[in-house]
Chains A and B, each alone.
Chain A
């Protein structure tokens, strides 16, 4: 355990240094992610609903998107495609350490820009909202579990490159599904009930809509329990799926280079 943590922290440091060499890039990526949210915020405010809630929701999405974001699919897929995974497999630790550490480093870089951006936007727009400390605390584990769900989901899909040879289409399809089902384009509360019922049992809502609904104290005690239950189940399912896929799919791995 101690050794694993040491390896992980070394990789996180390395990844952070690497991502910090081009800081402007981080700012650009955050702005790029924030623009669609700001457009959506403006449009949803035009059609009605509680303006303060809309503002907090979309500002929250800008931030949470960065917290639960993962680059695992691209990272795993690239290693399989260019054969560099072969080198990683020879090392005395799982290659997932590197993938996870790279995620943390990139995330820290994005958050360095996203946090001040959201604070500035919050101060400019100045939404009025009553925050509840208990709900706020309840949102923190939901964010962490949301990230794990996203990480294992992306990692499992990344491993499919062993069969498919190319995962560009898969990555983009998954991204579009997340945009729709996680509440990026349409806030979950505005979704038609029939669609909401389906999305409730899928993992995507838990990437940022569920933690945000908690943060904004929009959920009843029953919904919180139900949400955490589904989130926990998905976390477990995806973790097991990843473990199974990493054993099975590696039989199909053939390094072309590396």
Chain B
């Protein structure tokens, strides 16, 4: 328990520092918010334009696609709120040989590497995601029970774990590739989650359920809300993300041995 409190205190400190840093440049801070609004508006526009041309997308209606998008956005923003650009900063440190200062800290290196800063602006995106989620649910006329909400919340947690594990894998690759560009590719691949992944070619589906865990933060939580999920898929949505986290943890520990400092 003491250990958890210590880690929480560290996280709160990081959050405070991040907020102070972003408040230093107010104009830039407001521009970041403007960017969030434009980004959000453009995806809404894109979904509307798509559905102006076709009544459904691979069997999913417009409101259902909005639901998928809102859940994907929620998990994406939860990840970026908690972890911000930590993957980029840590990869840069590994590449430049500045990673030593993380290793000498008296707390777990993966924890420090994962939570370098907190992106406060993402709270706005989280609120926007919740608004679309509620709007889609009310427009779809779905009655959601208390149990469904609990099951869904568990999937949000496991989905965030899946998202984090996949992104953190790109940091681990830096130990071997010495390049950082893979992070952008990983990020681009996760963008697929904002669409119903079952519309993509059949041979890609097993990948979305395993190595590229997009299904866990898009269609599976959506299916839970729509009451269309089976027990096996639900169990997988809770187990696979944590299995991925375990693998990533082991890979991190193994890869740390390969790190050699390039600085003093």
Contact = CB atoms under 8 A, between A and B. Distances in A.
A49 B49 CA distance: 12
A166 interface: yes
B46 interface: yes
Contacts, number: 98
B120 to A, nearest CB: 13
B39 A176 contact: yes
Given A43-B195, A48-B54, A176-B35, A36 B42 contact: no
B54 A47 contact: yes
Contacts of A46: 54, 57-58, 199
Using C-beta atoms within 8 Å of the partner chain, give the interface range for chain B.
35 or more
A interface secondary structure, majority = helix
Contacts of B28: 164-170
A185 B43 CA distance: 9
Contacts of A169: 25, 27-32, 34-35
Interface residues of A, number: 37
A28 B184 CA distance: 8
B191 A180 contact: no
B interface secondary structure, majority = helix
B38 interface: yes
A185 B27 CA distance: 27
A191 B181 CA distance: 32
B50 interface: yes
Given A25-B179, A36-B188, A168-B28, A173 B53 contact: no
Contacts of B57: 43, 46-47
Interface string B165-184: 00000000000010101101
B184 A186 contact: no
Interface string A186-221: 100011100100000000000000000000000000
A203 to B, nearest CB: 16
A252 interface: no
B192 interface: yes
B45 interface: yes
A50 B31 CA distance: 38
Interface string B34-78: 110011001001100111111001100000000000000000000
B131 interface: no
A180 B58 contact: no
Contact of A39 (B54, B58, B177, B191): B191
Contacts of A172: 31-32, 35
B25 A28 contact: no
B185 interface: yes
Interface string B142-158: 00000000000000000
20 contacts: A24-B179, A29-B184, A32-B188, A35-B188, A35-B189, A36-B188, A36-B191, A43-B50, A44-B50, A47-B57, A48-B54, A165-B25, A165-B28, A169-B25, A169-B31, A169-B32, A173-B31, A176-B38, A185-B42, A186-B49
Interface of A: 22, 24-25, 28-29, 31-32, 35-36, 39, 42-44, 46-49, 163-170, 172-173, 176-177, 179-180, 185-186, 190-192, 195
* The 5 A-B residue pairs with the shortest CB-CB distance in the complex, in nearest-first order: A28-B181, A169-B31, A169-B28, A47-B54, A169-B32
Given A49-B53, A172-B31, A173-B38, 9 more contacts: A25-B179, A28-B181, A29-B184, A32-B184, A47-B54, A48-B53, A166-B28, A169-B35, A170-B31
